[in-house]
């Protein structure tokens, strides 16, 4: 069995016990020094904890005070061990402070503290960061920050993006995904999943939990990662263990945005990820894209999944875009009206249309 040594705040020297014994017995230090044949200055140094109790001194104390020499030697030995441990602990504390300074350069520690990953104890917090970032030392962290490149991601030049924060968001997504256990994944069942999600979006009742349950049922992990400043993330699709995973930040509390992002990420799984587990798809915005054709494929998958072309083609120029007609079209086709409105706005590049249709995510 492993034993863990308790490290005291201070080490107790046997000189303190000797002082207490002499005071309790009302023995003058000068007289006691004469009695045991020791120089007064030497005795005083022991009492002031500046000199150790040697084996010879321990025998003298045994004779005069009746406290065994073995006890004095054990006391002295424990003092030396405690002193060494305290010194070692203080050295490690200094090392940890230096390590933490480096960590703060590459990790948004306040974000991790807010998510309760950190407990404000350096040794524990350093170990947690190493665990989450899957590194052995801070040199690995520096290297990871330098090398970390996302396979595919959308990025807008108009937005200020923190690479440190983006990496942290990525780390949290993967860390939480690794903790999840879901059903086995069968890519052939993705069409069934898409159909069931349509119903969830149409009803829009506890949609986030409903989507999570559906994804887990079909073997896809689902993680909501809290917002992080300068990290305008829509979605992230990657492989976690034996399952694909989707991580989202709900930056917009809208059913149409949520539904499109989910379907976009499922598109990545169906079209790209299921045949290449090394890829990862990281969407920072929805305006411009890196490797644009891949993103367009996922966009088209999402559009077709939410409103099939056979249904969308019925909405043409003569179509009445009033709320009443959208609601009627929604009821007939069992498609959430906010998703229809969002598609109309996108197709016509009109985003400021006055409407009473509720877009809120419930």
Range in 14-18, 82-86, 149-153, 298-302 the model is least confident about? 149-153
**Which 8-state DSSP code applies to residue 241?**
T
Please report which confidence band the pLDDT of residue 1 belongs to, taking 50, 70 and 90 as the band edges.
Answer: very low
Range in 75-84, 192-201, 316-325, 352-361 the model is least confident about? 316-325
Please report which confidence band the pLDDT of residue 48 belongs to, taking 50, 70 and 90 as the band edges.
Answer: very high
The pLDDT, as a whole number, for residue 248 is 95
Average pLDDT, stretch 42-55?
95
- 67-to-55, 59, 75, 237 alpha-carbon distances in Å: 13, 9, 12, 72
Higher pLDDT, 295 or 178: 178
Residue-averaged pLDDT of the chain: 89
Please report which confidence band the pLDDT of residue 149 belongs to, taking 50, 70 and 90 as the band edges.
Answer: low
**b (16+ CB within 10 A) / e for 241-257:** eebbbbbbbbeeebbbb
Average pLDDT, stretch 254-261?
95
Distance of CA 12 to the CA centre of its chain: 41
Copy the structure tokens of residue 289: 């894209």
pLDDT in tens, 96-123: 999 999 999 999 999 999 999 999 999 9
Which is nearest to 169 in space by CA: 286, 68, 67, 249? Answer: 249
338, pLDDT greater than 60:
yes
Higher pLDDT, 19 or 316: 19
One DSSP character per residue, 155-193 reads: --TTS---HHHHHHHHHHHHHHHHT---PPP-GGGHHHH
The pLDDT, as a whole number, for residue 316 is 56
292, pLDDT greater than 90:
no
Residue 235: what are its φ and ψ, rounded to 5°? Answer: -155, 165
Average pLDDT, stretch 15-27?
94
pLDDT in tens, 3-15: 445 677 788 999 9
Average pLDDT, stretch 195-210?
97
Copy the structure tokens of residue 66: 């009746």
Please report which confidence band the pLDDT of residue 159 belongs to, taking 50, 70 and 90 as the band edges.
Answer: low
Range in 71-75, 301-305, 322-326 the model is least confident about? 322-326
Q: Is 80 helix (H, G, I), strand (E, B) or coil?
A: helix
pLDDT in tens, 215-255: 999 999 999 999 999 888 889 999 999 999 999 998 888 99
Copy the structure tokens of residue 187: 């890519």
Average pLDDT, stretch 37-56?
94
Q: How far apart are CA 274 and CA 105, in angstroms?
A: 36
Whole-model pTM? 0.76
Q: How far apart are CA 184 and CA 244, in angstroms?
A: 10
Distance of CA 361 to the CA centre of its chain: 26
The pLDDT, as a whole number, for residue 287 is 45
The pLDDT, as a whole number, for residue 37 is 92
Please report which confidence band the pLDDT of residue 319 belongs to, taking 50, 70 and 90 as the band edges.
Answer: low
Copy the structure tokens of residue 278: 């090394």
């Amino acid at each position: 069995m492993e034993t863990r040594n308790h490290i005291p705040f201070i080490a107790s020297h046997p000189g303190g016990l000797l002082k207490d014994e002499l005071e309790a017995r009302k023995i003058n230090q000068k007289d006691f020094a004469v009695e045991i044949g020791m120089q007064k200055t030497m005795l005083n140094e022991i009492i002031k904890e500046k000199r150790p109790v040697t084996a010879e001194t321990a025998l003298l104390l045994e004779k005069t005070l009746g406290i065994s020499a073995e006890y004095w030697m054990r006391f002295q030995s424990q003092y030396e061990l405690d002193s060494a441990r305290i010194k070692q602990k203080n050295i490690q504390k200094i090392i940890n402070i230096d390590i933490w300074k480096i960590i703060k350069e590459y990790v948004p520690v306040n974000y991790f503290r807010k998510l309760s990953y950190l407990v404000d104890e350096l040794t524990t917090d350093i170990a947690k960061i190493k665990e989450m970032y899957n590194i052995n030392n801070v040199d690995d962290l520096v290297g990871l920050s330098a090398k970390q490149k996302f396979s595919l991601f959308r990025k807008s030049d108009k937005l200020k993006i923190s690479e440190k924060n983006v990496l942290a968001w990525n780390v949290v997504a993967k860390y939480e995904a690794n903790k999840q256990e879901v059903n086995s994944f069968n890519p052939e069942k993705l069409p069934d999943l898409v159909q069931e999600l349509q119903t969830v979006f149409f009803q829009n009742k506890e949609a986030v939990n409903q989507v999570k349950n559906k994804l887990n049922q079909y073997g896809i992990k689902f993680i909501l990662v809290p917002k992080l400043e300068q990290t305008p993330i829509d979605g992230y699709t990657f492989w976690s263990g034996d399952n694909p995973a989707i991580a989202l930040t709900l930056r917009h509390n809208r059913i149409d945005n949520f539904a499109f992002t989910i379907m976009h990420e499922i598109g990545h799984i169906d079209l790209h990820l299921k045949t290449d587990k090394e890829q990862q798809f990281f969407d920072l915005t929805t305006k411009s894209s890196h490797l644009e054709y891949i993103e367009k494929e996922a966009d088209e998958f999402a559009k077709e999944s939410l409103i099939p072309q056979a249904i969308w083609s019925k909405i043409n120029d003569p179509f009445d875009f009033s709320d009443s007609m959208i609601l009627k079209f929604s009821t007939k086709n069992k498609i959430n009206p906010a998703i229809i409105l969002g598609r109309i706005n996108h197709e016509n590049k009109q985003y400021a249309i006055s409407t009473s249709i509720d877009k809120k995510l419930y």
